[in-house]
Amino acid sequence: MSLRRDFPGEKKSLAGMADDVQELIQRFTPFLTYLTELQAGWPVLEMEKLVGEAGGPEQVACITVDMVRGFCSEGPLASPRIQGIVPAVARILARAHDLGVRDFLFPQDSHPPDSPEFAAFPPHCLEGSSQAQTVPELSSLPFAQHFKHFPKRSLSSHHGTGLHEHLTSRHRTRMVAMGDCSDLCLYQLALELRLWANVKHLPWEVVVPASAVQTYDLPVEVARGLGAMPHDGELLHLVFLYHLQLNGVRVVADLV
């Protein structure tokens, strides 16, 4: 079966349409409509079912990326949209713990002062700073002694963090990926898990509950005033979760 859908000659290239925004909007409307329908169709998954399918709680890892103060409440990259998923993340972690899961992994930004990433993003989450700390709503959970932290210096939770080695150190079948941002570190985390499982024939199913994932929003007019690049949080959240699903990640509306 061919999945090729680009029929040369039927559509003008984007370059030729750049000065006709209405035509662009018209062209994108069916796909954007599809994305909203996709989102509306994501099922709610019961954690008990997930643990059962996994073969037991010891086969489940809950990986929560960048739920730190620097993306929720403090500093230049803090976003109320990301702060807004804290209760869902806490609830899902607690449900997993209730069912016997103990593998709680936290890859989190922890940058040196001269981090090369600061060429693209303003300085944030310096190692040892309060911005680099797990949000208090999670670090105060009664089972937080099981949390294992993996400091990271880039969007990748895998490069140079030890997460990869931890995950492959014993048999696991389910990876629940949560946190932020939908299009940045969470996307890199979930896709890399899927790619590594594909390369190594690992029996991993990567599960992303949309309720516990989010990204920041920077409207065009605000971004222009700041001299920054705009970022439509709603659109990019949806497009990147679509893209994870396209690549075999199991996206669900919520885990309960």
Q: Where does this chain bind Zn ion (CB under 5 A)?
A: 109, 117
- Shortest separation between residue 41's beta carbon and Zn ion, angstroms: 33
| Residue 59 vs 215, nearer CB to Zn ion | 215
Regarding beta strands 174-180 and 213-214, do their DSSP bridges make them parallel or antiparallel, or are they unpaired? Answer: parallel
Distance (Å, rounded) from C-alpha 39 to C-alpha 206? 18
Helix (H) and strand (E) counts for the chain?
11, 9
The H or E element spanning position 134 is none
**Residue whose pair of structure tokens reads 């035509």 in the numeric block:** 23
Give strand pairing partners of 149.
106
Q: Which lies closer to Zn ion via its Cβ, residue 109 or residue 180?
A: 109
Q: Residue 174 Cβ, how far from Zn ion at the closest point, in Å?
A: 27
Tokens of 60: 């489940």
Residue nearest Zn ion, Cβ-based? 109
The conformation of residue 129, written as its DSSP 8-state character, comes to S
Report the nearest approach of Zn ion to the CB of residue 154 (Å): 7
Output 181 or 210, the one with its CB closest to Zn ion: 181
- Least distance from C-beta 118 to Zn ion, angstroms? 8
Q: Mapping DSSP to helix (H, G, I), strand (E, B) and coil, where does residue 54 land?
A: helix
Shortest CB 207 distance to Zn ion, Å: 25
Provide the sign of the torsion angle of the four alpha carbons 165, 170, 171, 172, taken in this order: negative
How many angstroms separate the CA atoms of 138 and 11, rounded? 49
Kindly tell me which of 89 and 155 has the beta carbon lying closer to Zn ion: 155
3-state DSSP percent of the chain in helix, strand and coil, to 5: 45, 20, 35
User: Crossing angle for the helix pair 233-246 and 21-40, nearest 10 degrees?
Assistant: 60
- We find the least distance from the C-beta atom of residue 109 to Zn ion, in angstroms, to be 4
Task: Identify which of residues 60 and 213 has a Cβ nearer to Zn ion in the complex.
Answer: 213
Residue placing its CB nearer to Zn ion in the complex, 154 or 245: 154
